[in-house]
Amino acid sequence: MAAGTNIKTYFEGTWHDGNPAVMRAADHAIWLGTLVFDGARAWQGKVPDLDRHCQRVNNSARVMGMEPSMSSDDMVTLTHEGLAKCTVDAPIYIRPMYWSTENSGSVIVADPASTAFCLCLEEVPMPPAGKTISLARSSYTRPTLASATVDCKAACLYPNNARMFREANQRGFDNALVLDMLGNVAESASANIFMVKDGEVLTPIPNGTFLNGITRQRIMQLCTENNIPVHEKSLSYEDFYHADEIFLSGNLTKVTPVTRLEDRDLQNGTVTRKVRELYWQWAGFSD
């Protein structure tokens, strides 16, 4: 089942309508997990930070022992070619992917020369203005670089995130606040996380347990340029529980206010609203 509708898929030199089969039963990735992807967004004719997402998926492929078959510049060009086939101004989720089809030497190791590429464009709605979510504290943790490939955007990492979601949803929450194995807050189950205390924006310092997201970096830059104090530091669950405001940042929904953490209600506060406004202005979006 696809995440969105009105899908355009590029595979093996051709654009296809819909959700075509692109993997075979004995492909290395289908049973040994060597698939990486990235996600960018197109909306209202704007595609913020597309080049950085294309660069990151190529880096992810290399981390997983694959050799990218397309330059990031060519990927950007291909994406715009595909977007021209989509409904004008539609909210599109842009997902380039690589996976291995063959092994090299050991069965478990991917053959870098067997890397396949696919680009999928799906129409996925943007959340409405004012959309907020609730967070539960997860009993699961983010892995470290010593135990998982957390330095890339790999599909094999997401079953762990999925069980965080299931646990939170079963308790009536939308998402989960997740710690690392040292007890520091890492992120949510699906996006990077920020808190606001006494007018300052704070976010967990990247420590090798979560990706330093592209939207996260953009938000920090926008805060700095607009005289909003922003700091990376080690933060505990208690820090977030006593925060004045909390919001998430990620490609799919960009800036999402959190209005409940466990039994504590929070406001969609002035700083969170300002951050969202700054991102919308920079990206050229309008509500």
The DSSP string of 153-193 is -BGGGHHHHHHHHHHHHHTT-SEEEEEETTS-EEEESSSEE
Cα–Cα distance, 244 to 176 (Å, whole number): 18
- What is the per-residue burial (b if ≥16 Cβ within 10 Å, else e) of 125-164? ebeeeeebbbbbbbeebbbeeeeebbbbbbebbeebbeeb
Mean pLDDT of the chain: 96
Residues 6+ positions from 4 with CB-CB distance below 8 Å: 93, 122, 123, 124
Helix (H, G, I), strand (E, B) or coil at 112: helix
CATH topology of domain 5-123: D-amino Acid Aminotransferase; Chain A, domain 1 (3.30.470)
3-class DSSP state of 134: strand
Residue with tokens 């983010």: 142
pLDDT in tens, 268-284: 999 999 999 999 999 99
Please write the tens of the pLDDT for every residue from 97-129: 999 999 998 899 999 999 999 999 999 999 998
From CA 188, how far away is CA 27, in angstroms rounded? 32
Tell me the CA distances in angstroms from 239 to 9, 26, 135, 214, one per residue in order: 43, 48, 14, 24
Read off the pLDDT of residues 174-192 as tens digits, 9 standing for 90 and up.
999 999 999 999 999 999 9
229-268 pLDDT, tens digit per residue, is: 999 999 999 999 999 999 999 999 999 999 999 999 999 9
Q: Which residues contact 79 (CB under 8 A, 6 or more apart)?
A: 40, 42, 47, 50, 54, 94, 96, 119, 121
Of 287, 282, 281, the residue nearest 49 (C-alpha): 282
Contact 251, 272 (CB under 8 A): no
Question: Could you tell me the CA-to-CA distances from 258 to 145, 252, 275 in Å, in that order?
Answer: 28, 16, 13
Structural domain boundaries of the chain?
5-123, 133-283
pLDDT of the residue at 287 = 85
Question: Containing H/E element for 28?
Answer: helix 28-32
Q: What is the pLDDT of residues 16-40, one digit of tens each?
A: 999 999 999 999 999 999 999 999 9
User: What token pair was written down for 101?
Assistant: 């089809």
> Burial of 11 by CB count in 10 Å (0-12 exposed, 13-18 middle, 19+ buried)?
middle
Pairing of strands 254-261, 35-37: unpaired
Residue 209's H or E segment, with its range, is none
Which CATH number fits the domain 133-283, given the four candidates 3.20.10.10, 3.40.50.1370, 3.90.105.10, 3.40.630.10? 3.20.10.10
Q: How far apart are CA 32 and CA 262, in angstroms?
A: 37
The per-residue pLDDT for 89 is 93
